[in-house]
């Protein structure tokens, strides 16, 4: 069985990112915050492509797109054109999409560029501005539904499409690329990746220099890794059986976790690109680019470097914290309230991150705020709870959103500081476990069993250090007595 | 290559091509129409070959006849009474536009 | 009483403002005339009598109250049915939009209404503006008022016929490849295609967006200037509309062509041009010379390639512009038969569109398709540059360029409709102006065997002033209006 080396896998991504910081759509003045609204209420004759209507370009969309292209190290075109991409589909009000093209005389917003992930550079081929289509839904599944339900609220929303070179070699790299892209766009404030459907991507994958397979309908970054892993496995097995991979388009089925061939006539697409006659060229001056560059916020890579220098974090910690803007913001706000960046970093990375991952939730959507975390850390400092206790306080905070001191009071979690009480509990344990005591006298390590029992009896509320001291004291005393 | 081009052009458009194009354009045509189109389109395309006589080697295309550029709008919401648009939709289901089945 | 309907718009407006004539009465006269002769001519698809009378009454009240009134006060305006009128059916003479009632006005309609113009109806046209004879209408052809067996020209045939037969005071048409000027020539009226970008296209149902403009069709050049002044001007809803100082074109109605240099385009007098047309145009040029203009011949070689270039570009753009008509959001939809979406689209468009439209969609799709784009669409756009350059060069030597509007006299209904290529050839003299984006006017310059001949005058971009001046001077000195018998 031949193994396919990573270098033989080529993955390219086409990522569509909504410019969510705009108030209106790309070519009309409909409001852009369509999520959760009634279908077909954020529409107008222009985005519905009604007869006689014409598009007019949103200037802020252009600027946000330019800023994104700058952050991606891309070269902004001097003279940009819009092109029509012609194809029929029920989510397309005009049955063409106003988009951009890099052939046939077309000039997109920007060419080239890259994103650095770990030690690797993933090159960008082009970045273009285009409009989003509407949304289709079904009664049941796409196959069984007797009709298709169309909502045009999303039609006309501004998108930037980022197309990479096939530099990505593993599904994991694909996910890292997307996470980094999202982080960059969020740091710029031009696209909020946490909004449903705001970042969608298609992947192109080829193995061993074979034909390119396009995988569409990938709804989230997690799904990208899954879809690509599946596709690699699928293709590998075909190659091993000597079956050639043909160029095709496949559809990722999230529920069954497989890719399905879209071997329909839709494949024979000829988009007949030509320049959009209703829009005039856009000449992007150096002045405009400079002005936008000046007001560009701090990017993730810069922030990571600053975290290392300013907060003395390890490179790994800094990298993890700056993967998402929300996480990095949470960190810095926490540090503002409590100047122990390493502590905060540890808690975020070791405890909170896994929770976020498990629940698939974003840190800024949590009930827990920087103040929650900081207050909890202060409680540890004051000796009111110990570290172990703090962990369960944290879990409780994440679930309930209550402030740590409230939780501590409610659950009576204050460390048992009363030394008299502590001694009495130690005695009780020693009495209840005579065999363990004899073991502990002989072998110091066996004291752990007694520690365990002590913790159990006190519901972990004691300070292990002090309790340990007491235990060892008493064991020594007992040892002396026996002798 | 030039010879091939000439042959291709003399060929014009075949019935098969017409059907493919009609599919791309989502226009169903009857057999009778296909016959008629085949003749007419080839006559017209033959006439179009006239443009090959002109040398346009270093001539840029005039996609836009005006020297206009940078026409923008401000990012300001102007709400529109959506009911007026929805009212004329031929088939609806609840608040959705009802399209035929996909598959 | 009925003589009012023969008066030009600027006089009507004056009389109404000066209380000599009531707008309501005037509109009633128009409708009376329509009722009498419309069935022979069939210029209209939709008449809006109730709305028109309502508006007329409002205007009369305004005048009684001594309020300021617009420049089109009381004029009855016929609007080509590819220009959207709010709450009034706008069909493009197609089954596809047979029942389409737009919830919005075209910008030009808003401007007309702001100037107190009264919309009296939507006029017949070739379906989706594709044609030169108004025979390609789902609602049947329009007949030329000068000879009912003949075509009125197209695609704005209804508007031109309505004006020629006094069934409207003023009319709007659209001109993509001569669609204002051709019917103006065939119906012996004035038709102006403005410079590309002068008049907003918002609300004009697109056929070929880089080529078309809305323009006035009138009897009198003065009316043409008046209507143009009202509709021209920048529109924020149209990215291709030009920002420039608003002009009052009536200022250019000057009876003085002394020293104006006329360039006679050699390519417009080729072998397809009928002798009577050639004679008619040369007579007109002679008359202009009598008034002091100079003329000389000029050859613009690129114009030999204008017609195929025009059709390739127009059909390509059209194939994309008409893609939206799938019956899903508006327009013709076949009865529910549980087909899949692609089949429904194909059938909606099969039964919704006429044959000429389908022909152009297929050709246009072909010209843009992979492998053909360079040799058709791109090539045509390059020839367009050559044509633009030729005109620029010509306008260095001449003030205006002149020639026939149509190479032939109005032909019989049914004569050319079976041969699309023959029909397309009629546009040979009018399409260059669309390709170059320059303004062009057609004015009546005589008759031959009772059939009208049109003189075409072209000017540099945004020099409608020159067109109006030459046209005005010609019409003032040589017009001999033959009134309709009906």
Q: With a threshold of 0.80, does the pTM exceed it?
A: yes
Indicate yes or no: CB of B90 within 8 angstroms of CB of C375.
no
Of the candidates C456, C410, C462, the residue with the CA atom closest to the CA atom of residue C431: C456
Q: Which residues in chain A are closer than 8 Å to B94, comparing Cβ atoms?
A: 39, 149
Report the DSSP beta bridge partners of residue C123: C44, C80
Interval C342-397: pLDDT, tens: 999 999 999 999 999 999 999 999 999 998 999 999 999 999 999 999 999 999 99
Report the DSSP beta bridge partners of residue A99: A83
Distance (Å, whole) CA C369 – CA C384: 20
Interval C426-481: pLDDT, tens: 999 999 999 999 999 999 999 999 999 999 999 999 999 999 999 999 999 987 65
Q: Which residues in chain A are closer than 8 Å to B16, comparing Cβ atoms?
A: none
* Shortest Cα distance, chain B CAs vs residue C140, angstroms: 21
What Å distances lie between residue C305 and A296, B2, B52, C382, C462, CA to CA?
Answer: 51, 21, 9, 11, 24
Model confidence at C179: pLDDT above 90 = yes
pLDDT-derived band at C281 (thresholds 50, 70, 90) equals very high
- DSSP β-ladder status, A57-58 and B72-73: parallel
**Residue A458: enclosing H or E segment and its boundaries?**
none
**Residue C170: enclosing H or E segment and its boundaries?**
strand C170-175
- DSSP β-ladder status, A158-164 and A248-253: unpaired
DSSP A348-403: IIIIIHHHHHHHT--GGGSS--HHHHHHHHHHHHTTSS-HHHHHHHHHHHHHH---
DSSP C378: I
C179 in active site = yes
C80 in active site = yes
Of the candidates C349, C378, C356, C364, the residue with the CA atom closest to the CA atom of residue C318: C364
* Shortest Cα distance, chain C CAs vs residue B103, angstroms: 6
- Considering only CB atoms, C239 lies closest to which of A51, A54, A93, namely A54
Indicate yes or no: CB of C326 within 8 angstroms of CB of A55.
no
pLDDT at C485 (0 to 100): 42
Question: What string of pLDDT tens digits covers the 483 residues of chain A?
Answer: 455 565 589 999 999 999 999 999 999 999 999 999 999 999 999 999 999 999 999 999 999 999 999 999 999 999 999 999 999 999 999 999 999 999 988 999 999 999 999 889 999 999 999 999 999 999 888 788 899 999 999 999 999 999 999 999 999 999 999 999 999 999 999 999 989 899 999 999 999 878 889 999 888 888 899 999 999 999 999 888 988 888 888 989 888 899 988 765 445 679 999 999 999 999 999 999 999 999 999 999 999 999 999 999 999 999 999 988 999 999 999 999 999 999 999 999 998 998 888 888 888 888 899 999 999 999 888 878 888 888 888 888 888 888 988 888 887 766 666 667 777 888 888 888 888 888 888 887 888 888 888 888 887 777 777 778 888 888 888 888 765
* Length in residues, chain A: 483
Model confidence at B1: pLDDT above 80 = no
Sheet harboring A274-275: ordered strands across? A96-99, A83-86, A274-275
Considering Cα of C160, then C161, then C164, then C167, what sign does the dihedral take? Answer: negative
Indicate yes or no: CB of A270 within 8 angstroms of CB of C377.
no
Of the candidates A22, A21, A28, A2, the residue with the CA atom closest to the CA atom of residue A278: A28
Interval C196-214: pLDDT, tens: 999 999 999 999 999 999 9
Mean pLDDT of B85-100: 96
Considering Cα of C4, then C5, then C11, then C15, what sign does the dihedral take? Answer: positive
- The residue in chain A having the minimum alpha-carbon distance to the alpha carbon of residue B82 is A41
Of the candidates C195, C205, C209, the residue with the CA atom closest to the CA atom of residue C239: C209
Contact A26, A230 (CB under 8 A): no
Interval B16-64: pLDDT, tens: 999 999 999 999 999 999 999 999 999 999 999 999 999 999 999 999 9
- Burial-class residue A297 by CB neighbours within 10 Å (0-12, 13-18, 19+): middle
Of the candidates A259, A18, A256, the residue with the CA atom closest to the CA atom of residue A135: A18
Contact A268, A296 (CB under 8 A): no
List Cβ neighbours of A130 (8 Å cut-off, separation of 6 or more): A26, A85, A97, A98, A99, A100, A159, A160, A161
- Burial-class residue C407 by CB neighbours within 10 Å (0-12, 13-18, 19+): buried
Contact C128, C357 (CB under 8 A): yes
Distance (Å, whole) CA A412 – CA C146: 103
Catalytic residue among C94, C137, C155, C241: C155
* Shortest Cα distance, chain A CAs vs residue B60, angstroms: 10
Distance (Å, whole) CA A107 – CA A103: 7
Report the DSSP beta bridge partners of residue B98: A149
Contact C74, C116 (CB under 8 A): yes
pLDDT at A225 (0 to 100): 92
What Å distances lie between residue B92 and A95, C328, C344, C422, CA to CA?
Answer: 19, 9, 15, 44
Catalytic residue among C15, C22, C55, C80: C80
pLDDT at C484 (0 to 100): 43
Contact C144, C410 (CB under 8 A): yes
For A231, half-sphere exposure in the C-beta direction (CA atoms, 13 angstrom radius) is: 34
C155 in active site = yes
**Where does C42-129 have alpha helices with state H?**
49-64, 107-114
Placement of tokens 């850390």 in the chain: A377
Take residue C59 and report the two structure tokens written for it. Answer: 């205007």
Catalytic residue among C137, C179, C200, C229: C179
List Cβ neighbours of A300 (8 Å cut-off, separation of 6 or more): A180, A183, A184, A187, A322, A323, A325, A328
Q: Which long-range contacts (CB under 8 A, 24 or more apart) does A133-138 make?
A: A133/A89, A133/A91, A133/A92, A133/A93, A133/A97, A134/A90, A134/A91, A134/A92, A134/A93, A135/A91, A136/A90, A136/A91, A136/B99, A136/B102, A137/B96, A138/B102
DSSP C150: B
C155: preceding bond cis by omega (within 30 degrees): yes
**b (16+ CB within 10 A) / e for A6-18:** eeebbbbbbbbbb
Here the ipTM equals: 0.96
* Shortest Cα distance, chain C CAs vs residue A249, angstroms: 19
Of the candidates C85, C150, C93, C149, the residue with the CA atom closest to the CA atom of residue C113: C85
- What radius of gyration, in Å, describes the C-alpha atoms of chain C? 21
Take residue C248 and report the two structure tokens written for it. Answer: 């009052």
Distance (Å, whole) CA C402 – CA C397: 13
Report the DSSP beta bridge partners of residue A201: A15, A218
pLDDT at B7 (0 to 100): 54
Take residue C419 and report the two structure tokens written for it. Answer: 């041969």
Indicate yes or no: CB of B71 within 8 angstroms of CB of A56.
yes
- The residue in chain C having the minimum alpha-carbon distance to the alpha carbon of residue A46 is C237
């Amino acid at each position: 069985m031949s193994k396919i080396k990573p270098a033989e896998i080529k993955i390219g991504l086409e990522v569509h990112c909504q410019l969510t910081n705009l108030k209106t759509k790309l070519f009309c003045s409909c409001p852009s915050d369509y999520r959760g609204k009634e279908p077909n209420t954020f529409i107008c004759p222009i985005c519905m492509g009604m007869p006689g209507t014409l598009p007019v370009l949103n200037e802020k969309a252009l600027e946000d797109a330019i800023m994104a292209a700058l952050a991606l190290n891309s070269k902004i075109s001097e003279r940009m054109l819009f092109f029509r991409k012609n194809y029929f589909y029920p989510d397309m009000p005009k049955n063409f999409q106003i988009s951009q093209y890099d052939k046939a005389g077309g000039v997109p917003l920007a060419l080239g560029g890259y994103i650095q992930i770990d030690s690797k550079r993933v090159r960008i081929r082009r970045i273009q501005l285009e409009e989003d289509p509407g949304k289709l839904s079904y009664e049941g599944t796409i196959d069984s539904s007797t009709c298709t339900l169309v909502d045009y609220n999303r039609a006309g929303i501004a998108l930037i499409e980022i197309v990479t070179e096939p530099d990505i070699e593993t599904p994991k790299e694909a996910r890292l690329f997307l996470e980094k892209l999202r982080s960059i766009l969020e740091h710029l404030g031009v696209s909020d990746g946490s909004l449903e459907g705001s970042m969608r991507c298609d992947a192109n994958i080829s193995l061993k220099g074979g034909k390119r397979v396009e995988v569409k309908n990938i709804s989230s970054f997690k799904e990208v890794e899954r879809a690509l892993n599946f596709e690699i496995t699928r293709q590998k097995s075909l190659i091993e059986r000597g079956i050639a991979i043909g160029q095709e388009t496949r559809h990722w089925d999230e529920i069954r976790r497989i890719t399905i061939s879209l071997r329909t006539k839709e494949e024979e697409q000829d988009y007949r690109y030509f320049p959009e006659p209703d829009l005039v060229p856009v000449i992007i001056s150096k002045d405009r680019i400079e002005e936008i560059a000046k007001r560009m916020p701090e990017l993730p890579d810069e922030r990571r470097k600053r975290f290392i220098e300013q907060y003395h974090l390890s490179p790994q910690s800094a990298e993890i914290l700056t993967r998402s803007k929300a996480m990095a913001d949470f960190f810095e706000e926490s540090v503002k309230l409590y100047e122990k960046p390493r502590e905060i970093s540890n808690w975020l990375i070791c405890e909170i991150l896994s929770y976020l991952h498990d629940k698939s939730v974003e840190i800024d959507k949590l009930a827990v705020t920087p103040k929650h975390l900081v207050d909890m850390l202060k409680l540890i400092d004051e000796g009111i709870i110990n570290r172990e206790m703090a962990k369960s306080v944290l879990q409780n905070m994440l679930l309930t959103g209550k402030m740590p001191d409230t939780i501590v009071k409610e659950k009576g979690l204050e460390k048992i500081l009363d030394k008299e009480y502590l001694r009495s509990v130690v005695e009780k344990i020693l009495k209840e476990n005579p065999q363990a005591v004899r073991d502990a006298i002989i072998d110091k390590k066996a004291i752990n069993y007694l520690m365990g029992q002590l913790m159990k009896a006190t519901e972990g509320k004691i300070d292990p250090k002090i309790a340990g001291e007491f235990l060892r004291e008493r064991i020594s005393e007992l040892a002396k007595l026996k002798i | 290559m030039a010879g091939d081009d000439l042959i291709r052009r003399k060929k014009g458009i075949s019935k098969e091509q017409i059907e493919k194009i009609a599919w791309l354009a989502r226009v169903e045509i009857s057999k009778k129409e296909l016959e008629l189109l085949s003749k007419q389109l080839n006559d017209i395309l033959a006439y179009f070959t006239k443009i090959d006589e002109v040398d346009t080697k270093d001539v840029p295309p005039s996609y836009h006849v005006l020297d206009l550029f940078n026409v923008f709008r401000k990012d300001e919401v102007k709400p529109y009474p959506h009911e007026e648009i929805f009212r004329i939709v031929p088939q609806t289901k609840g608040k959705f536009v009802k399209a035929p089945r996909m598959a | 009483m009925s003589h009012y309907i023969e008066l030009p718009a600027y006089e009507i407006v004056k009389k109404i403002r000066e209380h000599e004539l009531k707008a309501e009465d005037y509109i009633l006269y128009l409708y009376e005339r329509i009722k009498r002769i419309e069935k022979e001519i069939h210029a209209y698809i939709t008449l809006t009598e109730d709305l028109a009378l309502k508006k007329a009454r409002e205007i009369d009240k305004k005048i009684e109250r001594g309020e300021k009134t617009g420049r089109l006060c009381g004029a009855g305006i016929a609007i080509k049915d590819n220009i959207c009128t709010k709450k009034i059916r706008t069909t493009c003479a197609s089954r596809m939009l047979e029942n389409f009632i737009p919830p919005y006005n075209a910008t030009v309609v808003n401007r007309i209404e702001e100037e107190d113009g009264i919309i009296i109806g939507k006029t017949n046209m070739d379906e989706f503006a594709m044609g030169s004879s108004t025979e390609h209408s789902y609602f049947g052809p329009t007949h030329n008022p000068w000879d009912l067996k003949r075509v009125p020209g197209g695609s704005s045939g209804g508007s031109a016929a309505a004006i020629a037969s006094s069934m409207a005071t003023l009319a709007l048409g659209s001109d993509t490849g001569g669609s204002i000027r051709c019917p103006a020539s065939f119906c012996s009226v004035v038709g102006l295609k403005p410079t590309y970008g002068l008049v907003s296209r918002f609300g004009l149902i697109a056929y070929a967006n880089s080529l078309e403009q809305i323009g006035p069709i009138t009897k009198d050049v003065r009316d043409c200037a008046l209507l143009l002044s009202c509709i021209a001007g920048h529109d924020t809803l149209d990215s291709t509309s030009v920002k420039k100082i608003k002009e009052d074109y009536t200022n250019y109605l000057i009876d003085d062509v002394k020293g104006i240099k006329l360039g006679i385009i050699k390519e417009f007098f080729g072998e397809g041009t009928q002798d009577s047309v050639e004679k008619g145009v040369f007579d007109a040029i002679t008359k202009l010379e009598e008034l002091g203009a100079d003329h000389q011949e000029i050859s613009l070689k690129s114009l030999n390639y204008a017609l195929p270039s025009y059709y390739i570009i127009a059909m390509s753009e059209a194939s994309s512009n008409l893609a939206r008509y799938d019956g899903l959001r508006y327009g013709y939809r076949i009865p529910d038969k549980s087909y899949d979406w692609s089949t429904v689209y194909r059938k909606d468009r099969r039964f919704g569109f006429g044959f000429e439209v389908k022909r152009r969609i297929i050709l246009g799709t072909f010209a843009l398709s992979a492998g053909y784009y360079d040799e058709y669409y791109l090539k045509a756009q390059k020839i367009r540059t050559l044509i633009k350059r030729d005109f620029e060069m010509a306008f260095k030597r001449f003030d205006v360029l002149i020639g026939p509007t149509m190479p032939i006299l109005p032909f019989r209904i049914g004569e050319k409709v079976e041969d699309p290529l023959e029909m397309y050839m009629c546009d040979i003299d009018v399409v260059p102006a669309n390709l170059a984006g320059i303004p062009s006017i057609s004015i009546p310059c005589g008759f031959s065997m009772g059939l009208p001949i049109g003189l075409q005058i072209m000017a540099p971009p945004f020099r409608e002033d020159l067109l109006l001046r030459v046209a005005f001077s010609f019409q003032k000195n040589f017009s001999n209006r033959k009134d309709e018998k009906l």
